[in-house]
Amino acid sequence: MKNSLHISLNQKINAFLLIVIVNACQIGVGIHGFQRVVYQDAKQDAWIAVILSFIYAHFVAFIMIKTLKMFQDQDLYGIHQMIFGKYFGNFLNSLYVLYCSFAFVSIIINYKEVINTWVFPHLASSFLYISLLIIVIYTFTGGIWIFISIRRCFFFTTFTVALNNMVIIF
């Protein structure tokens, strides 16, 4: 008989909240300047880059789903070790942790620049860094429900949908 994973009701989340969280994680701070970056390199052919990135993202998602179906009870670290062996799998896991660390630092710097530019221009950078790190630590120690309850996910999702609709209209 197959081992089935039972999740209690207090650990489940609503599908709408999951959509909001995935949207906020995928878009993140990259929405601040991606249009300028795409236009600088592609000029009037930017639509080709959008279509190619759409196809590439779906191809990667397809491979991810097929891999996760093959290793249903494993996480990313376990999959790396099972496919590539103990040493090379741990090396890939270390590279992934390093990548996530650099992404974290980049996002913190971007948030600091946005807050300094638009909200509090005379606030010390160290205060902003410490405040953001306290929020991140609180989120990680509080678990998934703290992460879900952060209202910025909901407001950021509605803001991006409204922004996209305004761009289409104009």
**pLDDT tens digits for range 22-32:** 666 666 666 66
Most confident of 42-46, 99-103, 116-120, 160-164: 99-103
- As a whole number of angstroms, the distance between CA 86 and CA 101 comes to 22
Of 131, 122, 132, nearest to 29 by C-alpha is 132
pLDDT beyond 60 at 168: no
* Res. 1 pLDDT band, cuts 50 70 90: very low
Contacts of 13 (CB under 8 A, 6+ apart): 144, 148
Residue 7 or 56, more confident: 56
Per the CB < 8 A criterion, the answer to whether 17 and 145 are in contact is no
Please write down the long-range contacts of 143-147, taking CB distance under 8 Å and 24 or more positions apart.
144/11, 144/13, 147/21
- As a whole number of angstroms, the distance between CA 84 and CA 90 comes to 9
Residues 3-27: what's their mean pLDDT? Answer: 64
